[in-house]
Amino acid sequence: MSNRSNDIIDIEPNQRAENLKAVGWVSYILHLIVAVAAVVPSAQPSILLLLVALVIDLVKRGDAEGTWQASHFSWRIRSVIWAGILYVVTSPLWLLFFVPGWIAWGIISLWFLYRIIRGMLAMSNGKAIDA
């Protein structure tokens, strides 16, 4: 015998997760544009795109609580924060030595691109992303 209120509780987080897919896709695509441009020479979109995606994720993160989408919001936020920290920490390499700076930023950009693609694939399959 099924309890109707339990069925509603089970459906509600799933519906919220589905409703957040559009927000997730917008955020992932903005991240993807920035990540691809970071590894393609002379293609530099504005960091504004990344900041817009980060703000979207920070604002909508609470709506995803209790759903599989929550992991995606955390994943994207952590990806941006870690990439930002790594870029700042390695930025002196650009001032002192061009080639090591270029290599460091190339590796960071490829790591960021990997995280975005991995997240997009998991979300397209309707699965949480594991840290």
Residue 120 lies in a domain: yes
- Residue 84 is part of which domain span? 4-124
Contact 76, 57 (CB under 8 A): yes
Number of domains in the chain: 1
Residue 65 three-state SS: coil
Per-block mean pLDDT, blocks of 10 residues, the chain (131 long): 44 75 92 82 71 93 91 95 90 81 87 94 92 59
Q: DSSP alpha helices (H): ranges in the chain?
A: 4-19, 21-39, 47-60, 69-90, 92-96, 98-124
Residue 46 lies in a domain: yes
**Among candidate residues 79, 70, 87, the one with its CA nearest the CA of residue 117:** 79
Residue 129 lies in a domain: no
| 3-state secondary structure labels for all residues of 94-119 | HHHCHHHHHHHHHHHHHHHHHHHHHH
